[in-house]
Structure 1
Amino acid sequence: MTISATQAASLQPFQPRRKTALIIGSGIGGLSLGIRLQSLGFNTTILERLDAPGGRAYQRHVDGYTFDMGPTVITVPQFIEELFALQRDEARLSAPDFPDGGSRVHAERPHTEKYVKLVPISPFYRIYFDDGTFFDYDGDLTSTRTQIEALAPEDLSGYEQFLRDAGAIFERGFLELGYTHFGDLPTMLRAVPDLLKLDAVRTLFSFTRKYFQNPKMQQVFSFETLLIGGNPLSVPAIYAMIHFVEKTWGIHYAIGGTGALVRAFVKKFEELGGTIRYGAGVSDIVTEKEGRQQVARGVKLEGGEELCADIVVSNGDWANTYLKRLDKKVRKINSDTRVKLSPQSMSLLVIYFGFRDDPECPLKLRHHNIILGPRYEELLREIFGQKVLGQDFSQYLHVPTLTDPALAPAGHHAAYTLVPVPNNASGLDWTVQGPLLVDRVMGMLDDRGYIPGLRNRLTHLDYVTPDYFADTLDSYLGNAFGPEPVLAQSAFFRPHNRSEDVTHLYMVGAGAQPGAGTPSVMMSAKMTARLVAEDFGIHPDIVG
């Protein structure tokens, strides 16, 4: 007996409709979550306001130069490997997060290698002090001890104690609690006794001063939180674990820049069936009342188009997600008052420049350079507390062409230097202050001999101020890293990845738990994916 095509179709097993997801923003957090949601069986669309992916990790090409606009430090490459290993309908949310055994730094990454090439960077950072001396910060204990003995011999024994105590914080705070979503107070309270015992809730700088007497060593072992928007004078000492995160897995660079990693994530996401739309800014998150709950139903684009979905996720700025995209009537927890009173991280002046190489005057710089000014604590108080521009500055100078010459025309270097500045709560007029600060910074790099003759060797120069973060990246007050990671905005007190106000609305990225930084936003994506799986009854290993 023959049957028609219609009859044949009716005999096929019933296939339930795939759930749909909309992600606002294609930053590293949004792309990481997109990959995970596709692996969970969702049909996911990422909506990007800009003309290319990346968000803060946007990459710019101009005059033959390639500039990463934002993050440049890549660590914990196993997080990247895990994303590239995921398959459609093959979620692995409960797989071991931090496998033991083998070399963590040099572990094989077969899936990553199909998409992007990661190379280790050593030293991690060259840290220059104002007196001209420097410290090469890396994961080599022998090298670290030798340098401490040369610069601050009085702190050698203190370093051994720091290794012991900061290592214990790393074990508990990162390896054990790293993927814990503090969605309720009891979850946090269970962790508090251990953190108190480890002295991890005092400020990082005061924690560091317990072990180091020399101001140079105090700076070396506390500066890293500035790279995630945190003031060492006020972030909790749990961030001492950053030293061990970097020492354990190393610092890496993606050939082609961080933009190459972003493009690799896009490729993986699209291979899994995901879709990205550019020039698709979101004006509103659409909700509907169901019983006593408000439920996310989709979004409205800036052009007026409305899109429906089963879940909505914001990889955008936490404050502006609630203040600008959700009616205040549906916001009981994330109210205007709460959001506006939440301290935001500092902002940045970032100068992107290209210059001619000079074989007769080779650069003494390294790939990553921290150039500290004459003041440390005072400068931090001015940036974060008083919100003023100081008489001096510190900076992070990134010269990727020392590793990857293809980012610049032959015989040239591409670089950027990043200067921490107050966010726009300062009231500073950056159309005036921006050019003045750029001149000071570039002049200092030339006059102090970091890049001799820089003024005459320049072939390209551009910069962004806090106004770029406020206007182009839509960050509240022009913050560069989301809510400031002080103790009162950590763990349970940091914005939750599952909205308390709207069902099926989620957050991911720097504004959510656990916080800012490339590895943290990838961890945030896994946290959020777990919450989605829980809410939709999806087994963490087998998609139903």
Structure 2
Amino acid sequence: MQRKTAIVIGSGIGGIACAMRLQSLGFQTHLLEKLDAPGGRAYVRRAEGFTFDMGPTVLTVPHFIEELFSLEQDHAMLGEPDFPADVLGDDKRITSGISGGPNTSRYVEIIPILPFYRIYFDDGTFFDYDADPVRVREQIARLAPEDLEGYEAFHEQARQIFNRGFLELGYTYFGSVGQMLGVVPDLLKLGAVQPLFSLIKKYFKSDKMRRVFSFEPLLVGGNPMKVPAIYAMIHFVEKTWGIHFARGGTGALISAFVKKYEEMGGTIRLGADVTRINVEKRDGKRVATGVTLASGETIAADVVVSNADYATTYMKMIDKKHRPINRDALVKFRKQSMSLMVIYFGYRKQAGDPDLQHHNIIFGPRYEELLTDIFERKILGPDFSQYLHIPTLTEPGLAPEGHHAAYTLIPVPNKLADLDWSQIGEGFKDKVLTLLEARGYIPNLKERLVYHSYVTPDYFEQTLGSYVGNGFGVEPVLTQTAFFRPHNRSEDISNLYLVGQSTQPGGGTPSVMMSAKMTVREIARDFAIDPRIVNGVPVRLPAAA
């Protein structure tokens, strides 16, 4: 039996994971990337001896990575338990060694990072955030003793939300209203649909603890003031499986995924800019038949999966005659996540440097008002918060000897704001670096600086193809969660699917890997393919199965 073919547009983590799974399912898969290297948002910038991951740097749930490296041509792993007993212990914690699982370790080294984050407050105090229950409680007692009792209650509710929302529903694809309605009573009972910050305020009195236990949705594009409280499960995801780092950076993980994918027989083409998803009318239905590249080349396929931005996929890649009248309005109606300014810089080491960590969260003086500025008012306020990433504290080889490679990421409004980044970018960059120096995070930074560059919302819009320069796809508010989030199977066009941060379940490295599994499961169902493969050929199920 001749293999069916699949095209995956975009080689972000979700796209690569999807391509690996399709190849494993029995499709001959072709991964198309418009940039000159794979990774999408996880692209790597190299300059003057420095290596910078341009995007995601926080790796969680390492057994998701292990599962991808365990794929084989004859086993799609779509019917396996998602959280098997050999991965989860009695306390739902990863068993030892899974961070560098046996199949992962053949391709890349994954190591845990402690603390997960050092969280700095504007008064100079800090909180080391990790999974150690004793240390967490000691730090709460030191900074906000009035919140110890509230933390215990929050911890229990977050655990229940994690058990139901992640362990039980994590891989649930909500393709119908009925599926969504079936879980709403449980989520209401758990208090998981109220705004996260409302839940946090219920348990914590101090501003510091409210920040510590609510900031994580910002790492997936969500406003802590507006995301549903189901995102409290991020706390337990990190607590349960830790924060990890790939030796060589996230780019090394991308390279390892590509190597595994090619070993399985998949192909990847760089510089392949897809400008159109080709659609035909067959028996009264719209059917995706392949893609057209900017060069004019047409590539046919039985399945097309887009890892490109959801709005870009529908509004730019599909001819208007194949889109229902309300599709453009629906796409434009959806709220997009905030954008980012990211500054990449290399600097000389200096004796007596402060004790920064691999991951640092540096809060400005405001929190709730700053979030409102970014997400609602869409203005640049007088202050900002940032995530400072210094991977050379873990792996010095990412910079020339005697130097550090770093980046700092600042949430900013997306391009619905009236901001001209070509005019304000340089000044804003200087303001950020000046603060790092003046507040003593990196003393004498400007005189030690040997390299710097930056990206703004223009990069997300123009290079990555993100609608209005969003940094994380569709914003994860309640009305854009689960069934209400863009679907992984197109409702309009047969054989067209989506994967990645704009689709279910959402943004973040573990979620886009989950998205890939969800999407390929739907493809397997639609093509009546049993995940078992016999001699490299997928087992076709009867149409009624």
TM-score, normalised relative to structure 2: 0.96
Aligned to 2:117: 125
Q: How far is 1:292 from its partner?
A: 2.0
Partner SS state of residue 127, structure 1: strand
Aligned to 2:396: 405
Aligned to 2:526: 535
Unaligned 5+ segments in structure 1 are 1-15
Partner SS state of residue 128, structure 2: strand
| CA–CA separation in structure 2 for the residues paired with 1:204 and 1:335 | 30
Q: Is 1:23–2:34 an aligned residue pair?
A: no
Aligned to 1:504: 495
| Aligned with residue 293 of structure 1, among 285, 291, 295 | 285
Q: Is 1:305–2:305 an aligned residue pair?
A: no
Q: How far is 1:97 from its partner?
A: 0.8
| Aligned with residue 492 of structure 1, among 483, 495, 499 | 483
Q: Is 1:52–2:37 an aligned residue pair?
A: yes
Partner SS state of residue 191, structure 1: helix
Q: Is 1:389–2:380 an aligned residue pair?
A: yes
Partner SS state of residue 426, structure 1: coil
Contact 1:333/1:501 (CA < 8 Å) preserved in 2? no
Aligned to 1:86: 71
Q: How far is 1:98 from its partner?
A: 1.3
Contact 1:126/1:366 (CA < 8 Å) preserved in 2? yes
CA separation of 1:269/1:196 partners in 2, compared to 1, >3 Å: closer, same or farther? Answer: same
Partner SS state of residue 530, structure 2: coil
Q: Is 1:106–2:91 an aligned residue pair?
A: no
| CA–CA separation in structure 2 for the residues paired with 1:516 and 1:442 | 28
CA-to-aligned-CA distance 1:187-234 (integer Å, 9 cap, x gap): 000010000000000101111111101110000000000010000000
State the AA in 2 paired with 1:52: A
Aligned to 2:543: none
Contact 2:118/2:359 (CA < 8 Å) preserved in 1? yes
| CA–CA separation in structure 2 for the residues paired with 1:25 and 1:212 | 42
Partner SS state of residue 518, structure 2: helix
Aligned to 1:369: 360
Q: Is 1:280–2:272 an aligned residue pair?
A: yes
Aligned to 2:27: 42
CA-to-aligned-CA distance 1:267-291 (integer Å, 9 cap, x gap): 0000000000000010100001011
Q: Is 1:167–2:152 an aligned residue pair?
A: no
Unaligned 5+ segments in structure 2 are 540-545
CA-to-aligned-CA distance 1:330-361 (integer Å, 9 cap, x gap): 222871101011110000000000000012x2
| Aligned with residue 224 of structure 1, among 216, 220, 234 | 216
Contact 1:105/1:250 (CA < 8 Å) preserved in 2? no
| CA–CA separation in structure 1 for the residues paired with 2:325 and 2:356 | 48
State the AA in 2 paired with 1:467: D
Q: Which runs of 4+ in 1 moved over 6 A?
A: none
| CA–CA separation in structure 2 for the residues paired with 1:540 and 1:44 | 16
CA-to-aligned-CA distance 1:36-74 (integer Å, 9 cap, x gap): 001101000011000000000001111000000000000
| CA–CA separation in structure 2 for the residues paired with 1:440 and 1:466 | 17
| CA–CA separation in structure 2 for the residues paired with 1:363 and 1:438 | 22
Partner SS state of residue 404, structure 2: strand
Q: Is 1:254–2:239 an aligned residue pair?
A: no
| CA–CA separation in structure 2 for the residues paired with 1:69 and 1:537 | 39
Aligned positions of 1:386-535 closer than 5 A:
386-535=377-526
Contact 1:328/1:335 (CA < 8 Å) preserved in 2? no
**CA RMSD of superposed structures (Å):** 0.9
Aligned to 1:233: 225
Q: How far is 1:75 from its partner?
A: 0.3
| CA–CA separation in structure 1 for the residues paired with 2:370 and 2:125 | 20
CA separation of 1:105/1:210 partners in 2, compared to 1, >3 Å: closer, same or farther? Answer: farther
Contact 1:497/1:507 (CA < 8 Å) preserved in 2? yes
Aligned to 1:271: 263
CA separation of 1:175/1:207 partners in 2, compared to 1, >3 Å: closer, same or farther? Answer: same
Aligned to 1:178: 170
Aligned to 2:197: 205
Aligned positions of 1:314-329 closer than 5 A:
314-329=306-321
| CA–CA separation in structure 2 for the residues paired with 1:363 and 1:299 | 52
State the AA in 2 paired with 1:505: L
Q: Is 1:75–2:60 an aligned residue pair?
A: yes
CA separation of 1:228/1:92 partners in 2, compared to 1, >3 Å: closer, same or farther? Answer: same
Q: How far is 1:105 from its partner?
A: 5.9
State the AA in 2 paired with 1:112: T
Contact 2:121/2:362 (CA < 8 Å) preserved in 1? yes
Aligned to 1:3: none
State the AA in 2 paired with 1:134: F
Q: How far is 1:364 from its partner?
A: 1.1
State the AA in 2 paired with 1:265: F
State the AA in 2 paired with 1:490: T
Partner SS state of residue 106, structure 1: coil
State the AA in 2 paired with 1:238: I
Contact 1:104/1:249 (CA < 8 Å) preserved in 2? yes
Partner SS state of residue 171, structure 2: coil
CA-to-aligned-CA distance 1:417-460 (integer Å, 9 cap, x gap): 00000000002100111111101100000000000010100000
Aligned to 1:65: 50
| CA–CA separation in structure 2 for the residues paired with 1:299 and 1:338 | 24
State the AA in 1 paired with 2:61: V
CA-to-aligned-CA distance 1:99-155 (integer Å, 9 cap, x gap): 234450634310000000001000000000000000000011111001001111010
State the AA in 1 paired with 2:127: F
Q: Percent identity?
A: 64
Q: How many residues align?
A: 528
State the AA in 2 paired with 1:80: I
Partner SS state of residue 31, structure 2: strand
| CA–CA separation in structure 1 for the residues paired with 2:95 and 2:334 | 37
State the AA in 2 paired with 1:192: V
TM-score, normalised relative to structure 1: 0.96
Q: Is 1:195–2:187 an aligned residue pair?
A: yes
